[in-house]
Amino acid sequence: MIIQQEEKFKEVLAKIEGKINEQSFFNKFLELYPEVWKKHKITYSKFTRSKKFGQTIPLPKPEISLRKEIRLFLQKQ
């Protein structure tokens, strides 16, 4: 989960030049917020290590979850 996600996404949207799509948004987000992305991946990694052997992980991978959030945000715009 990304803290203040809506505000960060709006700022990324304002900074994108040219065609806006999921990939360009994703790349610009990584460029503007590398520390947020790193924290998001670390949280996933900690959760993965803490699960017991044989259990499934209910969380999607960080790339997939961020892309899903971006897709939902762009659909609302």
What's the CA gap between 37 and 39, in Å, rounded?
5
User: How far separated are the first and last CA of the chain, in Å rounded?
Assistant: 21
* Mean pLDDT for the chain overall: 88
Percent of the chain's residues with pLDDT above 70: 88
Alpha-carbon distance values, 4 to 8, 36, 65 (Å):
6, 10, 16
In this prediction, residues 35-50 reach a mean pLDDT of 86
What's the half-sphere exposure (Cβ side, CA atoms, 13 Å) at 27?
A: 8
Contact 27, 34 (CB under 8 A): no
Q: What is the pTM of this model?
A: 0.81
